[in-house]
Structure 1
């Protein structure tokens, strides 16, 4: 059986080996949490598939063995209450549930553990239907910078495709400890970078956090994962994981553009519908 399993898996791609999860096409992890999340996902599926095969196997076996045969009449022998079987049917599911809970809690605790001294702190504001990013300088708050995004726009050629050059873009330094603060200015949103394999709700009046280390440079797609209104499907963004020097250059570019300070949580729902002009940039605070 082991030999057959090895042969079967030999032809699988890296992504197939990792349960077809996004961001696992290559051997290098996208973040420091990738292996942990993939391990929990694939192990859970293996256990559940094994349980499913056993259950369906027993159902099919019972249907064949205890089927009504030609010439039989009347009711089959009726089984009485069987205490050992009832205990078995109770204990095994309980063990499975407790096991899944224990491993999930262990991994979630590790993923949610805050960094003592993050290298980059970014406050992300969700708003209908776009994103704002505050790049916070904790040592020198007056040097903090911000980026204000608009919702996704279609390309002007009428193809209906999204113009990715206008998508809100979040820059992250590769190999650095990143702390993301998540807030909403209006309704419930959800911050989801697809290849990071993790998402977190953004709730009005509450700040949630994510902690991770980006480990592979590249451009990743993100979106709101909580139905938030008419243009929810256009609440898209990009994440660019770049070298630390390029990250610092980007922050300097924002300073040169006068985007110094921090955007607040003032209600400012984005009203630029597709193909309409974006609204004038809101003023920032703490300049």
Structure 2
């Protein structure tokens, strides 16, 4: 028994459904706050480091499109120039190899990879460069499924608990907020209390893992005030999708005011390793230092 082939009408309906589904997916993906800004979820001078990732991304696309146009042009040229004519008989002449062409399509891709590697290395080196004396040092501790922020020099902290994001209004107020002063160099010390997490603020075009037992460093200078979204981008368990945080870049006066508010709440000191999953230290809510 053979399966009956779909009729032309059924094939048309199926193709239409696929097209509608694809269009809907593209439209919905454009509804996110990141996608609404176009090619990149940021502006070129959001921090002193975003320009490097921005330029690398845009220039890589330009190079890729240039190569694509060249390849598409060559394919069309071959299709037209070497198409089979009505007067042709038998098979076309067969060529076993063409040494100049083989050298060309071996050397050019290698050269492109080395050029891309060169500019990527330059951008990565500048993005990861640390400051000898950052104005603000923040010990960021990722945990299932929230964040703790220790403001080291200010000797204050903010701790987050997992927020049940039920789609109701006010969800943003239930997740922790990281405060950063504008035009001041910030160093984030990324640590994890349990499993591997990843710290990402899309607007800053920087992302880095937080690994248990290892401290990673992220350094930058915010250059524009505003409110931004942050999230964990390493699958870390059941509620990974709800491991969110806010970022507020404010003036120095507003930052100092926020630090004083934390002190007034009794949130002085640092929440350190005592709450790490594998810590052998005696639990102590806050390390006064």
**Runs of 5+ in structure 2 lacking a partner?**
1-33, 278-283
Hey, what's the Cα distance between the residues in 1 that align with 2:40 and 2:129?
Answer: 23
Give the equivalent residue in structure 1 for 2:117.
101
The structure in which a higher percent of residues are helix is: 2
Hey, what's the Cα distance between the residues in 2 that align with 1:76 and 1:102?
Answer: 43
1:23 matches 2:31: no
Hey, what's the Cα distance between the residues in 2 that align with 1:210 and 1:135?
Answer: 15
Q: Deviation of residue 286 (structure 1)?
A: 3.3
1:64 matches 2:77: no
Matches within 5 A, 1:224-243: 224-243=232-251
Hey, what's the Cα distance between the residues in 1 that align with 2:269 and 2:147?
Answer: 16
Structure 2 residue corresponding to 1:208, chosen from 204, 216, 219: 216
Q: Deviation of residue 152 (structure 1)?
A: 3.1
CA RMSD of aligned residues (A): 2.2
Bigger-Rg structure (1/2): 2
Q: Deviation of residue 265 (structure 1)?
A: 2.6
State the Cα deviation string for residues 76-126 of structure 1 (Å, max 9, x = none).
111121111111111111111111111111111111111111000001011
CA contact (8 A) 1:219 1:239 kept: yes
1:149 matches 2:165: no
Hey, what's the Cα distance between the residues in 2 that align with 1:74 and 1:265?
Answer: 78
Q: Deviation of residue 251 (structure 1)?
A: 0.9
Give the equivalent residue in structure 1 for 2:58.
42
> After TM superposition, which residue ranges in structure 1, 4 or more long, deviate above 6 angstroms?
none
State the Cα deviation string for residues 127-182 of structure 1 (Å, max 9, x = none).
11100000001xxxxx6111101223336xxx556611111100000000100000
Give the equivalent residue in structure 1 for 2:147.
131
Alignment size in residue pairs:
250
Structure 1 residue corresponding to 2:264, chosen from 244, 248, 256: 256
Structure 1 residue corresponding to 2:252, chosen from 244, 259, 277: 244
CA contact (8 A) 1:19 1:41 kept: no
CA 1:151–1:162 in 2, change beyond 3 Å: closer, same or farther?
farther
CA contact (8 A) 1:183 1:207 kept: yes
CA contact (8 A) 2:178 2:245 kept: yes
Residue 260 of structure 1 aligns to a residue whose secondary structure is coil
Give the equivalent residue in structure 2 for 1:10.
none
State the Cα deviation string for residues 165-223 of structure 1 (Å, max 9, x = none).
11110000000010000011111111000100110111111110011000000100000
Matches within 5 A, 1:175-190: 175-190=183-198
CA contact (8 A) 1:125 1:265 kept: no
**Runs of 5+ in structure 1 lacking a partner?**
1-14, 138-142, 270-281
CA contact (8 A) 1:19 1:42 kept: no
State the Cα deviation string for residues 12-40 of structure 1 (Å, max 9, x = none).
xxx99x9621122xxx7210112222111
Residue 273 of structure 2 aligns to a residue whose secondary structure is coil
1:283 matches 2:249: no
Give the equivalent residue in structure 1 for 2:71.
55
Q: Deviation of residue 67 (structure 1)?
A: 2.0
CA contact (8 A) 1:185 1:266 kept: no
Give the equivalent residue in structure 1 for 2:15.
none
CA 1:162–1:152 in 2, change beyond 3 Å: closer, same or farther?
farther
Structure 2 residue corresponding to 1:116, chosen from 111, 115, 132: 132
TM-score norm. by structure 1 comes to: 0.81
1:169 matches 2:171: no
Residue 172 of structure 1 aligns to a residue whose secondary structure is strand
